[in-house]
Structure 1
Amino acid sequence: MITETAPMTQIDPDLLKESFIKASLHLERNHKILNNLNVFPVPDGDTGSNMSSSLKAAVSGLEKANPLTLPDIARIFCEELNRNSRGNSGFILARFFAGFFDASAENDAISMKDLREGFSQGSFLVNTSLFSPTEGTMITIIAAMTEYMSSVDVADVRELFSGALECARTALENTPNDLPVLARAGVIDSGALGFIVLFDGFLSALTGTEPQVEIEADYRFPPQTGDDTDGGDDVSFRFCTELLVRLDKEIPGGDLREYLKARGNSIALVAEDDLLKLHIHTNNPGELEEYLSAYGEIEKTKIEDMQDQVNLFNKKADATDNAVLVCIPGDGFAEIFQNLGAEYSISYDEKLPSAHELCEKVGEIDNDHIIIITNNKNIIPAAIMARDECDKAVSILPTENVSRGIAGMYGFSENDTIAENAQNMHDCLEFVKSFSVFESSMNTRFGDEDISKGDFFSIADGKILSVAKTRSKVILESFAKYDLTGMGNISLFKGKKFDDSCLAEVKEYLHQINDTLEIEELYGGQNREELIVSLE
């Protein structure tokens, strides 16, 4: 509780810059903890590193330019954050602050009203920008802070942030209930914690205090055991729906939120005078239109089927001057994709490519239309941002792994139109199955499985297939999960650290089951996965 006589009613430009600096330092101080809170014990340098490097670049831009006004701070901060955002977490930060500053960028300082509207605008833009927003992640924390800010009447900025962060930590504790895979891993969502850490640092500049370093053990708990009922990334609500309503009568706020929660998720609301902007994932967009039309005129409607990934392709359906830019997890994949017709590649390791780096690579290609194959779900947001910023026409094949990227290339032809490539490449994704083998970097437990440091384990579609002390046992047990009698080809993409002495035993096992199988060993050169296996 703030006890000073004079309340802090606004954040001036100098204090805002100081707050961002403290936020960046606090995020950097805790980024390893965020990295360690992975669902699986793989050292991927993911969430914490991506959030920290994204914010640090934006803050460095402020320190270098030293802008004196709020409009200049907003412009430089958002430009640098957009250019340097990495992964889902960096993308969400970029979208959030772009929306946040829409409410105040032309003002002399950020007022209490600006803060409330900024969080609402930021939450809305995050939900409308993500390809598939997921509850139990950073968007849940943003929504919790937004709802708190809009529901309380306090006169001090510090008190508003303090209460919002307390509400955010309550929501953080519930993320494993929103996202079952977290419950089985025994962790909270690291991106959600990262957003809280950022604003803990931000608030420390307002209060003149030092925030405490987080303790990793505080965010671990006994994993949930039993059958894995987590549906992974399955779409429970099919239609991404955005409505703009010109209101002519008031909607009871509580009634509207309860109505929407019963009919969808990923809900974001922005009220501006008599305009209501709504984003929601639902199965019945028509029902929402009918409900809201009773309170005013619906001026704009946007409904997208989230099961249709082809909509990430450019609409210039008659263009044929196509080239493919593929994101690869190891240098060996460059030649593999070149042989399939993808001449251009950008390699990534723990550090995922930013939107700016993708734009630069696109700019080096002479073709008018570029298809980006992501091969990692955490690169999809940066690819979407690059598509929106590049001068050239860019389409995206949002593959979650390199096996699906290779399968997609079977449908590509440089002589086909964009529309034809979109459909053909998308159709080919269904013909491949894949699993990956890792070496555990720590002692942990996932559901019923104890995993020790140095153990080998395999993952397919976000679920563990096998855990064992040897590579060969994990690989054999993983293959046993599939019906190999109907398979024709198996590709083994070897990582930098993979010891292939076990493959003779693996091949013998496979040919005993299906002697017509074609088995191909290829060097991928990836760091994270010991082995990537593609089954067709």
Structure 2
Amino acid sequence: MTYTTINGRDFSNMIKSASNALEKQKEYVNSLNVFPVPDGDTGTNMSLTFKAAAKEIEGLENKSIGEISKKLAKGALMGARGNSGVILSQILRGIAKGLENKEEATVDEVKESFVQGSNFAYKAVMRPTEGTILTIIRAAGEAATCSEAEDMIELYEEVCEESKKMLDKTPEMLPQLKQAKVVDAGGMGLLIILRGMLEALKFGEDIALNKDGEVISSGEEFEVPGAEIDPADIKFGYCTEFIIMNEVKDIPNFKDFLESLGDSLVLVGLEDITKVHVHTNDPGAVLSKAVTFGPLSKIKIENMREQHESLLGIDGNSNEQAAVEEIKEEPKPFGFVTVARGNGIASIFRDLGVDEVIEGGQTMNPSTEDIVNSINKVNAEVVYVLPNNKNIIMAAELAVDLVEDKKVIVIGTKTIPQGITAITMFNHDGTAEENVETMKEVIENVTSGEVTYAVKDTEDNGRSIKEGDILGIKEGKISNIGNEVYKVCKDLIASMVNEDSELITIFYGEDCEEAKVDELVGELEELYPEMDVQCFSGEQPLYYFITSVE
């Protein structure tokens, strides 16, 4: 079969095929991560991001390719996880720009969409690094530009071929790839997506189906993370969600109305539909107002106090509902959202005044939507976000532009100790700008380390690493290698301490023995009598110790 154009149905099948291909091969992509620690999550992040994008276009096969690509980009933006997911979302955003307002796309228009995908991806990264997914989308764009193909299959074959050639060159661009004898993980993920799209062109709709003839699910539900709380402490008892099958023209006034009746508001307009999520004591009033904008769909009302779901029987045109009037509290000046994994670490952040702790970190990067949802739950004029992981910073920065009713400031914390130091030094009497300057300054004085284990055989700076070896990691680089957890931790801290150091902080994980941790702390206090040694149960998985020296 030949294609001189592709329509919305063709494009939808290409997306389904690509999503399935990436889901099946995500563990392989994870295995390409250079660092031999249990955080090889590039494949997982890209797959979850692409699933969120694909879910957004379910049931839209008969729409135009321009409309489908736009919704695809929106879904990717909201579901973006980790740096690789954020960059992928921007690639899809550029492709959507190239296909904007198209009923169907010609070969030349698809070529232009590849170029736009490359342009948007590079613009999203402050300091682009070659040898990464950026290089592969650039190669795809250049291949499309130079191609003389008049058939869509031929075009995608050339794009995949040139992308593969460039991917094979990535070890020559980044020494760490060459040393580990792997190609770039993000680039491989993108190539899998392109090949999945090509397969759909070659084999048609069947390629998007599994062996039972059912479409493999292209999305997952993103739950808003939250700690368990006493039902008596819940101010607004009903989690109310629905879709208005129409565009709400007056979003600001509708948002004000919803905020007067509840909190945890998420209001997203997607042209011909509007998604609403709100916690309220009067779902009837919310639905009665919403139905004036258009028909309602997928109504879900959960009684959060009783911990079960039930649908509320209501005549959408009736306003005869019992109302419980709540006076909305005045927003406080400052609020905080942070990312952490481990009940102990999460509790420490809450004790320090953090409003929302998103469960995540290594191997489990929260999406932009997760971060937006948590920001929206904080009733404050200014909300500071502490990502505490370099792979979450870009997703957090995307969230800034998606929150309209409060100022959001991302402090680029890359580790848990940096996040804790930043919140500890926050001055509630200072201005937002003063606190930004202070927090950015103090995290520079924190030297962070982790102790974990190698998940594969590899080499690092000429040192042989075997699967199962214990690794001491200082500021993101492997510092020491051993086979005994507590000795590796002691040696790691020794490499972190200098003559100006005053404080050692240790968070021990769920796999540590408390008695041995106490012995380690005693040894450190003897070795460094002029320094304070603090030790906390972080309960974090995978990492035996997270430590810092200040």
On the 8 A contact 1:331/1:347 being kept in 2, the answer is: no
Q: In structure 2, do the counterparts of structure 1 residues 477 and 378 end up closer, same or farther at CA, with 3 Å as the change threshold?
A: same
Specify the alignment match of 1:342 in structure 2.
354
Specify the alignment match of 2:339 in structure 1.
327
SS of 2:504's partner is strand
Deviation at 1:430, TM superposition (A): 1.6
On the 8 A contact 1:136/1:175 being kept in 2, the answer is: yes
Q: Deviations 1:441-487 (Å, cap 9, x if unpaired)?
A: 33333342222232211112332111111012212322332344432
- Matched positions, count: 424
Specify the alignment match of 1:413 in structure 2.
427
Deviation at 1:30, TM superposition (A): 0.5
Q: Deviations 1:350-371 (Å, cap 9, x if unpaired)?
A: 3321111111111111102111
Residues of 1 paired with 2:40 and 2:143: CA distance? 32
Residues of 1 paired with 2:347 and 2:518: CA distance? 25
Of stretches 465-474 and 500-509 in structure 1, the one that deviates more from structure 2 is 500-509
Residues of 1 paired with 2:367 and 2:29: CA distance? 19
State the AA in 1 paired with 2:371: L
Specify the alignment match of 1:526 in structure 2.
540
Specify the alignment match of 1:462 in structure 2.
476
State the AA in 2 paired with 1:386: A
Q: Deviations 1:73-127 (Å, cap 9, x if unpaired)?
A: 1232122211111111111111111111112120111222222221221111111
On the 8 A contact 2:9/2:61 being kept in 1, the answer is: no
Residues of 1 paired with 2:461 and 2:66: CA distance? 49
1:472 is aligned to 2:486? yes
Residues of 1 paired with 2:418 and 2:126: CA distance? 18
SS of 2:149's partner is coil
Gaps of 5+ in 2: 208-330
State the AA in 2 paired with 1:523: S
1:179 is aligned to 2:191? no
Matches within 5 A, 1:486-525: 486-525=500-539
Residues of 1 paired with 2:384 and 2:94: CA distance? 28
Return the match for 2:145 from 150, 155, 159. 150
Q: In structure 2, do the counterparts of structure 1 residues 63 and 112 end up closer, same or farther at CA, with 3 Å as the change threshold?
A: same
Residues of 2 paired with 1:148 and 1:65: CA distance? 30
Q: Which has the higher contact order (CA 8 A, sep 6+)?
A: 1
Specify the alignment match of 1:425 in structure 2.
439
Residues of 2 paired with 1:362 and 1:153: CA distance? 48
Specify the alignment match of 1:199 in structure 2.
194
Specify the alignment match of 1:255 in structure 2.
none
1:56 is aligned to 2:69? no
Q: Considering only aligned residues, what root-mean-square deviation do their CA atoms show, in Å?
A: 2.2
On the 8 A contact 2:342/2:541 being kept in 1, the answer is: yes
Of stretches 350-359 and 192-201 in structure 1, the one that deviates more from structure 2 is 350-359
Residues of 1 paired with 2:473 and 2:179: CA distance? 14
Residues of 1 paired with 2:177 and 2:476: CA distance? 11
SS of 2:57's partner is helix
Deviation at 1:508, TM superposition (A): 4.5
Specify the alignment match of 1:436 in structure 2.
450
State the AA in 1 paired with 2:333: D
**Percent of matched pairs sharing the same residue:** 29
Of stretches 443-452 and 20-29 in structure 1, the one that deviates more from structure 2 is 443-452
On the 8 A contact 2:9/2:62 being kept in 1, the answer is: no
State the AA in 2 paired with 1:390: V
Specify the alignment match of 1:162 in structure 2.
157
1:19 is aligned to 2:14? yes
Q: In structure 2, do the counterparts of structure 1 residues 406 and 420 end up closer, same or farther at CA, with 3 Å as the change threshold?
A: same
Deviation at 1:534, TM superposition (A): 0.6
State the AA in 1 paired with 2:25: N
Residues of 2 paired with 1:113 and 1:495: CA distance? 55
State the AA in 2 paired with 1:439: Y
SS of 1:390's partner is coil
Residues of 2 paired with 1:52 and 1:68: CA distance? 24
Q: Deviations 1:293-332 (Å, cap 9, x if unpaired)?
A: xxxxxxxxxxxxxxxxxxxxxxxxxx99221111112222
Q: Deviations 1:44-71 (Å, cap 9, x if unpaired)?
A: 2511111111112222232244452223
State the AA in 1 paired with 2:124: S
